[in-house]
Chains A and B, each alone.
Chain A
């Protein structure tokens, strides 16, 4: 018996049926089980794609972006004294049980870089992939954003960069410093926690309230 010739549409339908039938046995969604690809992790570390520089982060905050969550890993008392505006306080110990969405972009910081880096590894082990650390932590934030220093022998490009840094620094209540050599060693105080505090009624806060970012169509 000769089979009737199939139209292209019918052939495609047959392909779909075949693929659909094979898909019966598929396990595409691995759910909560996580396998760590250590080579991939090593590559991420080497290529430094897991970093956000303090100035980048400052830019995001000024723009009022809400497609990420900024997490302060330090102790509650430190957080109360000062934190980067918009940051939430989750200590390293509280991190594993914290209800993050796996689809969220998470930016971590601590005082220096070590705690954040360790927490980054912890998050990777829990299957969170879109995790970043603030380069240099709060120290980096202080040096680059709050109290930027204009190098003594500044080039034109340096000066242009410094101009931008000055604007950011003022926004976050810091104080730019010119001619690095003289002031580099004087200890600096962190600004009073006024920037993220609720604005007095009537005043418009420079930081837009967090909105849930809509993804997709």
Chain B
């Protein structure tokens, strides 16, 4: 039944329209969470506001539980869901590069667009930087190609890598999230009091 695109319920044009609708919704909720402001995002790194951690981890847990139950009910064919292939080392390096950009600029790619939409100048500069960086990356890609494509593990999931039952991993991630939320609240109280 789902994924709808893979079952041919709609074509490419419609998928672009849906992507726009979903993207707009995503941006709306980023803004609602206060992530249109670099101050809120930077606060995460000073540990006095853990909203970023909480919102993102909540999104992960919500999506994970939804996908698990839809798959269990047989409404979603998980083996047809596209996964970005894992290239362990290049992706760790890429993640660090993104993290540095996050700390320096106060945005991640999605939030910078949300902030651009509300007319913030820093969001515009950041989004422009993403565009310029993407172009630059495309130009040097031939030299990076070998590294970027190294360590190919294919489209893998954690249950496959660790050879654990799917349900056990879901349970573990939920527990980690709940423990993380409690810890985050404690940290906020401690550091928030001082500042």
Contacts and interface: CB of A to CB of B under 8 A. Distances in A.
Interface of A: 9, 13, 16-17, 19-21, 23-31, 40, 44, 49-50, 67, 101-103, 105, 127, 129-130, 132, 214-217
9 contacts: A13-B178, A16-B65, A23-B174, A24-B165, A24-B168, A28-B76, A29-B78, A29-B79, A44-B8
A50 B8 contact: yes
B155 interface: yes
Contact of B71 (A29, A44, A49): A29
Contacts, number: 101
B8 A49 contact: yes
A91 B69 CA distance: 39
A214 B166 CA distance: 26
Interface residues on B, range: 35 or more
Given A28-B67, A30-B77, 11 more contacts: A17-B175, A17-B178, A21-B174, A23-B69, A23-B167, A25-B167, A26-B69, A26-B72, A29-B71, A44-B8, A50-B8
B148 to A, nearest CB: 12
Nearest to B172: A20
Interface in B18-46: none
A23 B7 contact: no
Contacts of A25: 167
B6 A29 contact: no
B147 interface: no
B156 interface: no
B95 to A, nearest CB: 13
B121 interface: no
